[in-house]
């Protein structure tokens, strides 16, 4: 009997929705308990005993895949869009067919990004915490209309964020040298080279993929160029932002507040200084996790994997 390992937490959270699809093919599901990721050592122990792998944000490294192909591993699918944790070149070298599931979550992640923008603008997080502590705070926030947004990344997620923020009558400055621009995009948005115009932006929202060019693109130098009191939102990958530089920006007052769905190390370490700041909204790398999106992406991942396994 073939076996398939699933290590993607959102899919695991709804795994009963998909069991029948595997049962119909006579495939046994392997579903370990995963908080965020499994370690390389855990994966190297499990993978030789499975035929297929639906990957979450796990360290899908060359040594992990090498361990897998020494056993039964025949194919893998990266659940979701981001592939920075997966060594595709190693898969090619080892003859492992692999693919991701792009364009699945643009709307869902954009919704979370906009919720952070609104939360930081109106300080709803402070009001909520105050009421819970038997207080009645009334912070004066800022209006969204007329504010400037530096939007880093203009893929599926970035386009969806831009569409939503444009509806609030905000000015959108897009930073993405590889963006595909429709005629209407050129009318609605300002496309600029990074880090031009950061000094006029009230918000910085990152939605780009993580690669050698984007790692730590928000750093001490670029933060120094930002408008005083900037609000920073990250719904892409944690290492897009140098967290030490961000912490320094918060402590100096340069950065007013942050909305972070992702971090350089996940889960966020207990000792992280970020935990000590009141003007922050934190997530759990959960921007894509709606029931609708999980079903959509999981069906796609399963279909692709079944195709690789010829079942």
Digit-coded pLDDT (tens) for 141-164: 999 999 999 999 999 999 999 999
Mean pLDDT of 1-5: 97
Q: Known catalytic residue: 237?
A: yes
Catalytic residue, chosen from 215, 266, 296, 299, is 266
Length reported for the chain = 311
Which domains, ranges and CATH numbers included, belong to the chain?
Answer: 3-101+290-309 (3.40.50.720), 106-282 (3.40.50.720)
CA proximity to 76, closest of 53, 56, 59: 53
- Residue 255 backbone phi and psi in degrees, to 5: -100, 120
Q: What is the pLDDT of residue 107?
A: 96
Selected catalytic residue, list 108, 237, 243, 264: 237
pLDDT, tens only, 18-55: 999 999 999 999 999 999 999 999 999 999 999 999 99
**Considering the entire predicted model, what is its pTM?**
0.92
Give the model's pLDDT for residue 124: 97
Q: Is there a catalytic annotation at residue 166?
A: no
Determine the pLDDT at residue 82: 87
**250-280 tens-digit pLDDT:** 999 999 999 999 999 999 999 999 999 999 9
pLDDT tens, position by position, 169-183: 999 999 999 999 999
Sheet holding 280-282, edge to edge: 190-191, 171-175, 148-152, 203-206, 230-234, 255-260, 280-282
Note if 123 is an active site residue.
no
pLDDT single digits (tens) 194-230: 999 999 999 999 999 999 999 999 999 999 999 999 9
Residue 81, pLDDT above cutoff 90: no
Comparing CA positions, the residue from 240, 75, 71, 230 lying closest to residue 152 is 240
- For residue 140, pLDDT over 90 is answered with yes
Q: Which candidate, 60, 67, 137, 146, places its Cα nearest to that of 100?
A: 60
pLDDT, position 17: 97
1 confidence band (pLDDT: 50, 70, 90): very high
With 0-12 CB in 10 A as exposed, 13-18 as middle and 19+ as buried, what is 270?
exposed
Average pLDDT for the chain: 97
The proportion of the chain whose per-residue pLDDT surpasses 90, expressed as a percent, equals 98
């Amino acid at each position: 009997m073939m076996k398939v390992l699933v290590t993607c937490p959102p899919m695991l959270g709804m795994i009963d929705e998909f069991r029948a699809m595997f049962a119909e093919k006579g495939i046994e599901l392997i579903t370990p308990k995963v908080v965020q990721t499994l370690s390389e050592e855990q994966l190297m122990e499990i993978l030789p005993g499975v035929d297929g792998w639906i990957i979450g944000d796990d360290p899908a490294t060359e040594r992990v895949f090498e361990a897998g192909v020494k056993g039964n591993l025949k194919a893998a699918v990266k659940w979701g869009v981001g592939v920075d944790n997966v060594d595709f070149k190693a898969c090619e070298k080892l003859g492992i067919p692999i693919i991701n599931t792009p364009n699945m979550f643009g709307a869902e992640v954009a919704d979370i990004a906009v919720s952070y923008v609104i939360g930081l603008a109106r300080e709803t997080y402070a009001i909520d915490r105050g009421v819970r502590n038997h207080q009645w705070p009334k912070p004066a926030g800022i209006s969204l209309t007329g504010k400037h947004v530096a939007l880093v990344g203009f893929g599926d997620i970035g386009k969806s964020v831009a569409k939503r923020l444009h509806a609030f009558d905000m000015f959108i400055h897009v930073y993405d040298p590889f963006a595909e621009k429709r005629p209407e995009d050129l009318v609605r948005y300002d496309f600029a080279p990074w880090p031009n115009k950061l000094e006029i932006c009230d918000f910085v929202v990152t939605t780009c993929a993580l690669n050698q060019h984007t790692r730590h693109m928000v750093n001490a130098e670029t933060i120094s160029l930002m408008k005083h009191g900037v609000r920073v939102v990250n719904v892409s990958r944690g290492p897009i932002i140098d967290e030490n530089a961000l912490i320094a920006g918060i402590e100096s007052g340069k950065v007013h507040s942050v909305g972070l769905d992702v971090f350089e190390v996940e889960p966020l370490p207990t000792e992280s200084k970020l935990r000590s700041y009141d003007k922050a909204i934190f997530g759990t790398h959960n921007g894509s996790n709606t029931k609708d999106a999980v079903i959509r992406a999981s069906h796609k991942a399963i279909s692709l994997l079944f195709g690789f396994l010829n079942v």
